[in-house]
Amino acid sequence: MESDLNLMGDEEMANPAVSARRLLAGPRCRYYAGFQPPFYIVSRYKDVSDLLRDPKRFLSGHGQGPNFAHPVGVVSDPPQHTFFRNLVQQDFLPRSIARLRPRLTEIARELLDAVEDREVWDLHDDLAFPLPVTIICEIFGIPTDDLVQFKLWSDASVAALSSEDPALYAAELARMRDYVLTLLQAKRSGSDDGTLLTRVARARRDGVSISDDEAVGLVLQLFVAGNETTTSLITNFMWRMLSSENLWADFCGARIDIDKAINESLRFDPPLLGLFRTTACEVELGGTVVPSHTKVLTHYGAANRDPAVFDNPDVFDVHRPTRKILSFGLGIHVCLGAELARLEARVTLETLRARCPRLQLVDDGKRIGPFLFWGRRKLPVRNL
């Protein structure tokens, strides 16, 4: 029933499939007053796709979250968006990413070596969290000596994105900005070491250096966008696999296609349940008139379960034929790191199945806090 929707209530936080079901049973565009400021939600696959392909009427520059923000880095609209995306995208093209495979395999092996003698370990803390942070640091040329600090900063960033009171996280986020600014300043002089950090530090637009705020903002976007999400892809995948003994055994016995299974995990358990656009003008959406300058949530979690597109959408089917899922967004803002995220997941899962074919869940662990995100921040497992 329409009025039941409560994105931040216990039931839907524990199982966002419930939100998806309620949204898909309601109007194509629904008003949601359970947040300050209130927003609208689109949930049908076609509506979400159409909206994401319409960046003139649905803007990114007011922020990806429910709160209004200023344009920063790639969270902006053309031409600013085009400039910043072009600046960083060469490092994320398929051929650049494919070169990372040996190093990713090495990181996964080292992390699993460290838990080899432990009967119980945590899939999040010991594997799914450190792997993406380490590789993104290496892509940038950022030291990897303080992963725990990075984790605290990433947590603060994602919490601020979904919070009614982002000021709560301001002090932590200011420390993160200072840290990145110091790194960038060090890269402005000296020889060009070819790292992404140096390219950002020395970027010029129309002949003028980009500002400190722009450089820091861009680095942080890439840093934060890829960590929590890829970690959640790995934990969500393993949670589903281990919740059914046969699935993990079949996966380890190579009876399941790894790419199809990753795609199904992304469809069924999207690490980002949705993100926001802001209307540039009054817009009519499925019979609802949305005023200008209003936030609209594109709910990937619901769109991925739209029965008009996916047969038996509420079934986790690792053999499902691959169809375009919306978990990485679409259009000009489509995820820059999708190739990297898929490779990270593939390498981690291949390494894990070779090393731990008899892995078991201890319990369901804990959910990540912010309502827009879906993943485990604890997932204890036992090596048999």
Of 19, 43, 49, 221, the one binding ligand HEM by CB under 6 A: 221
- Piece of 37-45, 98-106, 222-230, 281-289 that binds ligand HEM (CB under 6 A): 222-230
Of 43, 49, 60, 348, the one binding ligand HEM by CB under 6 A: 60
Distance, CA of 192 to chain centre:
31
Which pair of tokens denotes residue 103?
Answer: 């190093």
Please report how close the Cβ of residue 67 comes to ligand HEM at its closest, in angstroms: 14
For residue 38, whether the previous peptide bond is cis, meaning omega lies within 30 degrees of 0, is no
Confirm or reject binding of residue 197 to ligand HEM (CB under 6 A).
Answer: no
Give the strand pairing for 29-32 and 39-42.
Answer: antiparallel
- Piece of 33-41, 120-128, 247-255, 267-275 that binds ligand HEM (CB under 6 A): 267-275
Confirm or reject binding of residue 343 to ligand HEM (CB under 6 A).
Answer: no
The Cα–Cα gap between 43 and 30 comes to 9
Please report how close the Cβ of residue 224 comes to ligand HEM at its closest, in angstroms: 9
Confirm or reject binding of residue 328 to ligand HEM (CB under 6 A).
Answer: yes
Q: Which is nearer to ligand HEM, 62 or 353 (CB)?
A: 62
Confirm or reject binding of residue 351 to ligand HEM (CB under 6 A).
Answer: no
Confirm or reject binding of residue 203 to ligand HEM (CB under 6 A).
Answer: no
Q: Which is nearer to ligand HEM, 166 or 270 (CB)?
A: 270
* Four-CA torsion 261, 267, 272, 276, nearest 10 degrees: 150
Applying CB under 6 A, what is the total number of residues that bind ligand HEM? 23
Q: Which is nearer to ligand HEM, 11 or 90 (CB)?
A: 90
Q: Which is nearer to ligand HEM, 54 or 245 (CB)?
A: 54
> 109 near 351, Cβ under 8 Å?
yes
Q: Which is nearer to ligand HEM, 134 or 221 (CB)?
A: 221
Please report how close the Cβ of residue 139 comes to ligand HEM at its closest, in angstroms: 8
The Cα–Cα gap between 287 and 277 comes to 19
The Cα–Cα gap between 104 and 131 comes to 8
Confirm or reject binding of residue 238 to ligand HEM (CB under 6 A).
Answer: no
Confirm or reject binding of residue 166 to ligand HEM (CB under 6 A).
Answer: no
Q: Which is nearer to ligand HEM, 30 or 333 (CB)?
A: 333
Q: Which is nearer to ligand HEM, 233 or 381 (CB)?
A: 233
Of 271, 301, 365, 375, the one binding ligand HEM by CB under 6 A: 271
Please report how close the Cβ of residue 267 comes to ligand HEM at its closest, in angstroms: 11
Please report how close the Cβ of residue 248 comes to ligand HEM at its closest, in angstroms: 20
Q: Which is nearer to ligand HEM, 61 or 166 (CB)?
A: 61
Binding region for ligand HEM (CB under 6 A):
60, 64, 74, 85, 221-222, 225-226, 229-230, 233, 271-272, 275, 327-329, 333, 335-337, 340-341
